[in-house]
């Protein structure tokens, strides 16, 4: 097994330049490319007119690649429809939420429900499966590209109504109750009366909006499965993937991931932006990796797209500074990726992405800074083959859930500063700074394998969520939740009898009577009031819940305003475990201190890492591989355990510190060190 | 007579929870609720399918309430249409200004012109009138809810054309002249060629835009009257109201108010926002009360909706701090309201307003801060029954007029900083700080009963406006007008021969030759130049008119720029009265000084109130009730006249100051004191 | 020959006020008006119902004007359609890019392709030509008004497809290649599949977007020619013009100008804005004059619209301060205009432009500041008749090109700070401060007559551009280009083999390997490194190209970041000439120093003008007229050559300085001095 190195390759754009295709092969070998993705958006090249196919060019490319030791991930071409297809079957085009059907153009512009589109896609996929399914160079199927968006056509509306019938047992009264439609006289008599949410129609029923997002996610998964079906039937041994877009808000990736063999994603951080230090960007990016990795429970995933230097679509497309490419590629591997793949191999001459970064520029030469950095990564990756297939496991988990996110975003209340993903990201960062690379869990998952679970803003409770939590704490787990916990059920009906609902009031030993919302320039603070916890005060912004404790013990109180002295942070013993409740939005410093204290109470090891250094672990069950990445702008000293061996350092000039016994390594900026130890 | 205390009650949302309905009754009595509003948005609950009615639940609720001493304001359900209605008669749905018909959903989404909708509403109103018109618990009819918006369907277009025919004597040439359509070749040959203004059509003819707003206001009134007709026929003794939305820009409330027996409105100030002190919010809110009160010439009105703590739709929904609820409720009474009503009694479990504040939270308990504050207000209101029915009268009035506002907003000129309502609000505040709670008048009203009239930015003159002004000043009144006075006639045709037009040039003894518009960072100042007026300089922003005086006397001149030394503020004797002209936009300090000086010259009493304290007066013709409200954050000393009796203090711990003779009372923050004296 | 003084006159708005028309004539003479523009938007007044004409009013007006010595520029009325026309032929109305047809209203709202509209316009133009073509008072035809906008109807779509067929030799494969449609599977099979770009369709193909803009410009020109045709047939001796809108982005004015006899434009600078000094506004405005003048290679053009004081459509419509009107009018003449014309003579009483400035206000009097300033300008212009017909020529030229601008704007890359026009404006300003009023050239022009050519951001190369440049430098010219030079061909296909492409790599002796994009708060700097050029460092923002020099000599290197020490500014000898390359976006100071140095090397005379003073030259081939304009707020000393004669000074009080021999004149603010000398 090898770590994959390569990326998107579009030879169909250069068929009239055979010299360039020959040069591509030479340069790929120079850059140590072992894998390419072919066929993304190639439908017009396969089937230039309906029913007229031309695959010979692809035959030759795949063969040549294979002969040169390069494997192919073959994409289905459904992301972009040929002009003839839209012309002949306009019903495959998407309809906007204003009810207007799109024209031919751009990409991701098809109705996921359209039987016609599914039929046409099945047809071309069948061709691909038959022709290339047995090719020894074929590594994987890649379904479409960056699936996303929504369609509001009549077909989708009808399918949405069917989805609702299934969900609500064909019982319109049940839907009316869960959507609380008596409000504003919104009761429906029949499912057929229900339209998707629209700026020119309904936009106020939170249950409808949430179910529409669920439907869109379900329908996209259903569409994706319809593509996968062809391959599972004809080439059952070839794994199937698609490329996710990080925290893309429109799809529940937990749902899509179940239908895939391998998770893959596209990663384009804004390096060197003016609001963050480089290491902060790197830490932020680690959270995205963690979410993607967790979709398949720590199994290796693929970095499907990344860029050697600048992209073309950020507001400011700054060059990646020297070494950042190495840092980000090795970070991917450290976080659990078995690949470093780029969009793209060679820049297009024209159209929308002609300036999207690539290994080969319009210049066409390997004598460029960018090429050399790619070549270096290719070389380094060949030293890491034993990492391939290893997994990531943590004793600490954090909830991050799309349904909860949607419910919070559409919550008609509180403030403009909702910041659910930002809050999760911040908490993840605090843990990573302590050397803990948390697992991410959805609202439906069991928490059995964790010692600590963090639940930021767990606003919506799925039927199983409270059960999992109660079981987890009862059995000795430590839970930390925050303001906005347990307000609504899965259809956004508020719990009666006090938040947090569904039995969590007992777990935390309190209820939240009110929630104060601060203006952006307002603030408050919390003051710790018990001996054996933290000292001092920490700043609070935006949200302050006014808590009524029952069995909970008060750890901190508010320091200002009319609720000065009332509980802000509490802990409650429940079964063998403990449940912390942080009622206010503390800043990063405050939350970090709390997390550190909680870890130390539970006995989870906290590592004192220098600023900018992140540590990740992968394991094959026998060995543990610790990755240290230095994203600071200066050298940092890394303390290595005496039982550990340094198996890899990206810069061979890294030097040991004086004291041999303590194994202190000096890690240069943008470099990586891997230690190996037996578990 | 009693002051009403209560609010919106939606038992139809809880029909499957009889325990909650029982608990509601118990808690209402605990909170001293004596009135509820039922039936807002209840159409689906009355008529779940077309022609199938179910009123039994409402029968029982009204009976039970009445048995418990609680009266009902019964709303018509037209604010929200049942799904079956929109499904069966899609023509009742509104059409946007882009010509797209809405889908079923949200609220306030019907065509006001639709004969079908009027018929269906008449039908359900008839049922209500017949069934509940004679119920002893019925207090008032409440028409629809927060009427607003506009429709651009073909029916409305046709009706608009008819409206124009009536207005312009079926003479298209007259319309062409008043709209000045020769400009840009816009002459119409027939009324049938005229479309409503639209982003995809006409948006440049100011006369058209103004007439369209007038039409929409007229049509909404016409629609409202079609609802009222049913009740006037069947229950002539039951008064009719609807709930206004403060300074809502889309409707001329003077026009709607005429069709109602009682004015009511919904009041949701942004308490504790980060741009104002609390008392500033309170003063701002007093202006809204004054506008609403003045719609019926000082007669008692109803506060129909307010919130005990936070709403759900502000950008930041902060909790009302302790005492603010009391302050704002007593302020409503002080300003002329005979009620304190809330939206809502109990929070909905779901949908768009599930987090809108209420007396009873999802928690369901009366053991909450919010409930206790409501209960306190209920208790205090029972001590104020003699206030009920008293009225408000002032010797000072200020113009605030929707037609003028529309004309200014659509004036294609000057600057982005138009600020007409803001300017009126600021002037009102200056007077209130001097203990003068001005009446508000429309452009068509007689000014006979006033000593001073303030005319901010009186840009548009209705045919009667200048007549009223001339008569007022001639007879000895004091008028103060500003820049932008008398530029256009009622159809936005500019007056020729110098602004202010329609004879006002003579009243003020000047004309305005030019108007300079300053950039936001620019400023100028005015310097007073006569002995017997003010001294010193005051800052000016945004507008400076360059005046040519004729008979006017110059009080102040500009201190900077090329028009340094030219007149900025003047006064002119006209008949027995005086007309002041303030040609520039002075800041609050400058205007306050001018107002104070003008009052003292006229002999209108100015009270020296401490910062944050406002005073209002109500009277029954025999006694005068002076309300003092302290919205400052500290105690303030209130000087009480020796002939006055303190009849009420919201906090019984308020203490007299030492000097008994001078009757100085110390008023705590957020508290209210009422003095009574014989007129 | 006389300089024209006058402006738009709309007597049709006052036909019911003959007294006002008489007064107009009197006041025009008082203001020394010699020319008016009639008939803009007068269609309804000519043809109130289809086929019913009334020209008598116009007959009388033109006659009366002529008798009073005032000439007429007669406009065609196509800018605004009568209501009956839109009612009878809705197909003449424009369709938006969302596919929605407009309603009747506003102006510039017709489909340029509509045969029906062209027929109706031809009809009315025929009437005008026949009736007035021989009138001795007729000076010029003025086609429509401020042509602009685009239409997306089916007719336009079809015409666009025909345009593409012509351009791409009816070869869809050629189009596919140039638009690089293999990307995203965008290959077209037939021209008929191509839609205009649309938010609901294609918006990603840069070649399509550019060709659509070209088509719109071509189609507008084609439409304009269809209007002109009538006049060229019937009145071949009457020149034809239309009024351009400065740097209006939607039309390639080089293309339109070819179809006109005389260029005219509308000029509305934001005097006294809060971000600029007055002289900066004046310098900025000079660039606009230079662009307009260069459309006809320095021949006299007309200032068709300007305003005596404030307009109505700026965000803040500040009054022009005293003297600024004189300054701006004389600046127009200095820059090459043979006219000073206003929009408008008399303010409309109503509708959208009722507050747009005019010579005569609603007041109706000549006793106003504005009238007097106009009258002064009228008086001054009569002293400048010998200037009339003189031309402007420069030895220095700068590229400013609409196609390049469109390509840069739609370039899907780099940063939000594209600033192509802003950059050109800044460079022009730097030269003007040195007394050099550059010519402006399009990408297709020969550079034969210049010594220095500046090429800012010459991103797109038309087929002839590189040829012209190579010839120019080979023959001894000095070229200065910047970052972003030569990236794409005329259809936005990137050049392969290194930027700048199409052979320019050899001209500059370098290629650009990467381009770094800085965030707004980032910066870098360049440091000069050769002895015989500049010294020191200059600040850099936004763009830094990383250059690889071949034959070029390095003048400056980057001073910071990872490319510190690498070339930033270079010069290359090529043939007899030199090619400078400025790889980074230097600030104004830096660029000014470079320009000054380059001028001095080439031997182009640089004048040391005081801040705020601009100098322009006009010539009749025998004499040279040098205009000095002082836009500073203080007096400035102007050094006059001993061989020069002061022929005009707008203020007769201008005084000579002491030293007679050196001819130093003291020029007051907002005044103008003209020196005459034999060439």
pLDDT in tens, C518-556: 999 999 999 999 999 999 999 999 999 999 999 999 999
Encode A273-329 in three state secondary structure. Answer: CCCCCHHHHHHHHHHHHHHHHHCCCCCCEEEEECCCCCCCCCCECCCCCCCHHHHHH
Name the pairing type of β-strands B623-630 and B613-619: antiparallel
pLDDT of residue B664: 82
Report yes or no: A491 and A179 within 8 Å, Cβ to Cβ. yes
What is the side-by-side order of every strand in the sheet holding C623-630?
A: C613-619, C623-630, C672-678, C645-649
User: How far apart are the C-alpha atoms of B155 and B152, rounded to whole Å?
Assistant: 8
Chain C contact set for A372 (CB, 8 A): none
What are the E-state strand segments in B388-451? Answer: 396-399, 439-441
- Residue-level length of chain A: 679
What are the E-state strand segments in B221-295? Answer: 240-241, 243-244, 264-266
DSSP designation for B335: H
Report yes or no: B225 and B261 within 8 Å, Cβ to Cβ. no
Per-residue b/e over C450-466, b at no fewer than 16 CB within 10 Å? bbbbbbbbbbbbbeebb
Q: Does A345 touch chain C (CB under 8 A)?
A: no
**A33: closest CA of chain B, how far (Å):** 52
Q: Does B193 touch chain C (CB under 8 A)?
A: yes
Annotated active-site residue B611? The verdict is: no
**What SS3 class is residue A128?**
helix
Q: For the segment B430-442, what is each residue's pLDDT rounded down to a tens digit?
A: 999 999 999 999 9
pLDDT along chain B (679 residues), means of 10: 96 97 98 98 97 98 98 97 96 96 89 98 98 98 97 98 98 98 95 96 95 98 98 98 97 98 98 97 98 97 97 96 98 98 97 96 97 98 97 97 98 91 98 98 96 98 97 98 98 98 98 97 97 95 98 98 98 98 98 98 95 97 96 92 86 58 82 94
For chain C, the chains sharing at least 3 beta-carbon pairs closer than 8 angstroms are: A, B
Q: Identify which of A185, A202, A495 has the shortest CB distance to residue B42.
A: A185
Chain B contact set for C349 (CB, 8 A): 180, 493-494, 496
Cβ contact (<8 Å) for B349 and A180?
A: yes
Low-confidence ranges of chain A (pLDDT < 50): none
Q: Identify which of C49, C315, C362 has the shortest CB distance to residue B496.
A: C362
Q: From the CA atom positions of chain A, what is the Rg in Å?
A: 26
Nearest to B473 by CA among B445, B453, B498, B487: B453
DSSP designation for C417: -
Active-site residues of C, by number, are 146, 305
Interface with chain A: mutation pick from B42, B49, B319, highest number of A CBs within 10 Å: B319
The nearest alpha carbon in chain B to A411 belongs to: B352
User: How far apart are the C-alpha atoms of C139 and C137, rounded to whole Å?
Assistant: 6
Chain C contact set for B485 (CB, 8 A): none
Cβ contact (<8 Å) for B41 and A183?
A: yes
Is the predicted ipTM greater than 0.90, yes or no? yes
Interface with chain B: mutation pick from A98, A152, A188, A200, highest number of B CBs within 10 Å: A200
pLDDT of residue A442: 97
Cβ contact (<8 Å) for B312 and A498?
A: no
Cβ contact (<8 Å) for C198 and A103?
A: yes
What's the gap between Cα B252 and its chain centre?
Answer: 10
Size of interface A-B (CB pairs under 8 A): 176
> To 5 degrees, how large is the angle CA C198–CA C201–CA C206?
70
Report yes or no: B373 and B325 within 8 Å, Cβ to Cβ. yes
The nearest alpha carbon in chain A to B16 belongs to: A177
pLDDT of residue B618: 98
User: How far apart are the C-alpha atoms of C180 and C187, rounded to whole Å?
Assistant: 8
Catalogue the long-range contacts made by C592-599 (C-beta closer than 8 Å, 24 or more residues apart).
C592/C430, C592/C433, C592/C434, C593/C534, C593/C538, C594/C480, C594/C534, C594/C569, C595/C427, C595/C430, C595/C431, C595/C434, C595/C454, C595/C480, C596/C434, C597/C533, C597/C534, C598/C452, C598/C478, C598/C480, C599/C396, C599/C434, C599/C436, C599/C452
Chain B contact set for A177 (CB, 8 A): 16
**CB contact residues (below 8 A), chain C span 67-86, against chain B:** 77, 79-84
Active-site residues of A, by number, are 146, 305
Helix H segments across C133-242? 154-167, 172-178, 206-234
Q: For the segment A289-322, what is each residue's pLDDT rounded down to a tens digit?
A: 999 999 999 999 999 999 999 999 999 999 999 9
Q: Identify which of B180, B497, B515 has the shortest CB distance to residue C351.
A: B180
**What SS3 class is residue B677?**
strand
- Residue-level length of chain C: 679
pLDDT of residue C413: 84
User: How far apart are the C-alpha atoms of C299 and C264, rounded to whole Å?
Assistant: 11
DSSP designation for C673: E
Cβ contact (<8 Å) for C312 and B414?
A: yes
Q: Identify which of C45, C100, C370 has the shortest CB distance to residue B182.
A: C45
Nearest to B249 by CA among B373, B409, B363, B379: B409
The average pLDDT across C296-314 equals 96
Cβ contact (<8 Å) for A207 and B351?
A: yes
Q: In what helix (H) or strand (E) does residue B287 lie, and over which residues does it extend? A: helix B278-294
Which of B47, B146, B255, B593 does the annotation list as catalytic? Answer: B146
User: How far apart are the C-alpha atoms of B249 and B266, rounded to whole Å?
Assistant: 14
Collect all residues with Cβ–Cβ distance below 8 Å to B372 and sequence separation of at least 6.
B366
Cβ contact (<8 Å) for C319 and B179?
A: no
What is the side-by-side order of every strand in the sheet holding A672-678?
A: A613-619, A623-630, A672-678, A645-649
Q: From the CA atom positions of chain B, what is the Rg in Å?
A: 26
The average pLDDT across C254-272 equals 98
- Model-level pTM? 0.96
pLDDT over 70, % of chain C: 98
Cβ contact (<8 Å) for A522 and B274?
A: yes
Annotated active-site residue B305? The verdict is: yes
Which of B305, B445, B542, B545 does the annotation list as catalytic? Answer: B305
Q: Does B198 touch chain C (CB under 8 A)?
A: yes
Q: Identify which of A413, A497, A519 has the shortest CB distance to residue B273.
A: A519
Nearest to B293 by CA among B333, B239, B343: B333
pLDDT of residue A639: 82
Q: Does A12 touch chain C (CB under 8 A)?
A: yes
Nearest to C337 by CA among C384, C399, C271: C384
Chain C contact set for B522 (CB, 8 A): 274, 318
Chain C contact set for A361 (CB, 8 A): 513-514
Cβ contact (<8 Å) for B185 and C41?
A: yes
If one counts every other C-beta atom within 10 angstroms of the C-beta of residue A471, the result is 15
Nearest to A99 by CA among A42, A29, A38, A154: A154
Tokens (6 digits) for A49: 């007119």
Q: Identify which of C102, C313, C349 has the shortest CB distance to residue B494.
A: C349
Q: What are phi and psi of C87, to 5 degrees?
A: -70, -45
User: How far apart are the C-alpha atoms of A26 and A375, rounded to whole Å?
Assistant: 13
* Side-chain half-sphere CA neighbours of A605 within 13 A: 5
Cβ contact (<8 Å) for B103 and A201?
A: yes
**CB contact residues (below 8 A), chain B span 547-576, against chain C:** 561-562
**C462: closest CA of chain A, how far (Å):** 16
Q: For the segment B574-620, what is each residue's pLDDT rounded down to a tens digit?
A: 999 999 999 999 999 999 999 999 999 999 999 999 999 999 999 99
Q: Does B493 touch chain C (CB under 8 A)?
A: yes
Collect all residues with Cβ–Cβ distance below 8 Å to B282 and sequence separation of at least 6.
B269, B327, B328, B331, B612, B614, B629, B631
Q: For the segment B285-327, what is each residue's pLDDT rounded down to a tens digit?
A: 999 999 999 999 999 999 999 999 999 999 999 999 999 999 9
Cα separation values, B203 from A569, B97, B195, B408, C437, Å: 57, 11, 10, 15, 41
pLDDT of residue C652: 60
> To 5 degrees, how large is the angle CA C602–CA C607–CA C613?
140
**What SS3 class is residue B359?**
coil
User: How far apart are the C-alpha atoms of C311 and C327, rounded to whole Å?
Assistant: 17
Chain C contact set for B205 (CB, 8 A): 351-352
pLDDT over 70, % of chain B: 98
**C14: closest CA of chain B, how far (Å):** 9
Q: In what helix (H) or strand (E) does residue B605 lie, and over which residues does it extend? A: none
Report yes or no: A490 and A461 within 8 Å, Cβ to Cβ. yes
Q: Identify which of A186, A488, A496 has the shortest CB distance to residue B364.
A: A496
**Alpha-carbon torsion, ordered A196, A202, A207, A211, to 10 deg:** 10
**C281: closest CA of chain B, how far (Å):** 15
**A244 beta partners:** A265
User: How far apart are the C-alpha atoms of B248 and B213, rounded to whole Å?
Assistant: 13
Q: Does A87 touch chain C (CB under 8 A)?
A: yes
Q: For the segment C550-587, what is each residue's pLDDT rounded down to a tens digit?
A: 999 999 999 999 999 999 999 999 999 999 999 999 99
If one counts every other C-beta atom within 10 angstroms of the C-beta of residue B443, the result is 23
Cβ contact (<8 Å) for B184 and C49?
A: no
pLDDT of residue B642: 77
**Alpha-carbon torsion, ordered C221, C224, C228, C230, to 10 deg:** 120
If one counts every other C-beta atom within 10 angstroms of the C-beta of residue B67, the result is 10
Name the pairing type of β-strands B439-441 and B396-399: parallel
Q: For the segment A260-298, what is each residue's pLDDT rounded down to a tens digit?
A: 999 999 999 999 999 999 999 999 999 999 999 999 999
pLDDT of residue C163: 98
User: How far apart are the C-alpha atoms of C426 and B5, rounded to whole Å?
Assistant: 68
Q: Does B89 touch chain A (CB under 8 A)?
A: no
* Side-chain half-sphere CA neighbours of C605 within 13 A: 5
Q: For the segment A536-561, what is each residue's pLDDT rounded down to a tens digit?
A: 999 999 999 999 999 999 999 999 99
Chain A contact set for C547 (CB, 8 A): none
């Amino acid at each position: 097994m090898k770590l994959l190195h390569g990326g998107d390759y579009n030879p169909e754009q250069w068929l009239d330049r055979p010299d360039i295709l020959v040069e591509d092969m030479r340069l790929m070998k120079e850059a140590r490319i072992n894998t390419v993705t072919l066929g993304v958006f190639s439908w017009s090249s396969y089937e230039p007119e309906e029913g007229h196919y031309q695959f010979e060019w692809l035959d030759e490319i795949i063969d040549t690649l294979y002969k040169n030791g390069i494997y192919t991930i073959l994409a289905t071409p459904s992301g972009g429809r040929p002009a003839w297809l839209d012309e002949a079957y306009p019903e495959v085009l998407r309809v906007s939420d204003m009810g207007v059907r799109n024209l031919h153009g751009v990409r991701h512009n098809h109705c996921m429900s359209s039987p016609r589109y599914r039929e046409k896609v099945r047809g071309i996929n069948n061709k691909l499966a038959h022709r290339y399914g047995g090719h020894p160079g074929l590594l994987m199927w890649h379904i479409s590209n960056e699936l996303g968006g929504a369609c509001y056509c009549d077909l989708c509306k009808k399918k949405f109504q069917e989805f609702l019938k299934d969900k609500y047992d064909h019982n319109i009264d049940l839907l009316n109750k869960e959507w609380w439609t008596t409000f504003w006289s919104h009761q429906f008599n029949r499912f057929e009366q229900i339209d998707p949410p629209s700026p020119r129609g309904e936009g106020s029923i939170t249950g409808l909006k949430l179910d529409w997002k669920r439907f869109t996610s379900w329908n996209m998964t259903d569409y994706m499965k319809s593509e996968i079906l062809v391959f599972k039937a004809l080439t059952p041994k070839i794994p199937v993937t698609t490329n996710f877009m990080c925290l893309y808000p429109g799809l529940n990736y937990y749902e899509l991931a179940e239908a895939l063999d391998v998770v893959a994603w596209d990663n384009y951080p804004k390096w060197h932006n003016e609001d963050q230090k480089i290491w902060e960007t790197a830490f932020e990016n680690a959270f995205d990796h963690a979410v993607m990795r967790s979709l398949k429970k720590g199994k290796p995933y693929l970095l499907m797209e990344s860029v050697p230097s600048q992209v073309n679509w950020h507001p400011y497309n700054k060059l990646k500074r020297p070494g950042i490419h190495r840092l980000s590629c090795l970070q991917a591997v450290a976080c659990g990726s078995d690949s470093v793949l780029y969009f793209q191999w060679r820049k297009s001459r024209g159209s929308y992405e002609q300036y999207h970064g690539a290994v080969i520029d319009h210049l066409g030469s390997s004598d460029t800074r960018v090429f050399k950095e790619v070549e270096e990564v290719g070389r380094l990756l060949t030293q890491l083959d034993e990492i391939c297939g290893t997994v990531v496991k943590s004793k600490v988990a954090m909830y991050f859930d799309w349904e909860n996110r949607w419910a919070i975003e559409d919550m008609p209340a509180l403030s403009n500063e909702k910041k659910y993903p930002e809050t999760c990201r911040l908490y993840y960062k605090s843990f990573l700074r302590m050397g803990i690379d948390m697992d991410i869990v959805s609202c439906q998952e069991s928490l059995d394998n964790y010692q600590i679970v963090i639940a930021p803003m767990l606003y919506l409770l799925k039927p199983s969520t409270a059960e999992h939590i109660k079981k987890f704490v009862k059995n000795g787990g430590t839970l930390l939740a925050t303001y906005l916990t347990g307000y609504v059920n899965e259809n956004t009906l508020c719990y009666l009898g006090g938040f947090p609902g569904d039995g969590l009031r007992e777990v935390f030993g309190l209820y939240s009577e009110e929630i104060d919302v601060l203006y952006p320039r307002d603030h408050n603070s919390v003051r710790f009031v018990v001996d054996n916890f933290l000292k001092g005060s920490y700043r609070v912004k935006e949200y302050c819940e006014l808590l009524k404790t029952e069995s909970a013990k008060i750890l901190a109180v508010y320091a200002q305003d009319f609720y000065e002295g009332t509980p802000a942070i509490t802990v409650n013993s429940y079964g063998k475990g403990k449940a912390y409740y942080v009622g206010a939005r503390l800043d990063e410093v405050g939350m970090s201190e709390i997390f550190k204290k909680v870890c130390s109470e539970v006995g989870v090891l906290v590592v004192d890492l220098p600023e900018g250094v992140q540590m990740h672990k992968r394991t094959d069950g026998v060995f543990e591989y610790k990755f240290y990445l230095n994203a600071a702008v200066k050298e940092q000293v890394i303390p290595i355990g005496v039982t550990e061996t340094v198996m890899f350092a990206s810069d061979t000039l890294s030097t040991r510190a004086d004291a041999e016994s303590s194994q202190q390594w000096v890690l240069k900026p943008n470099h990586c060190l891997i230690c190996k130890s037996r578990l």
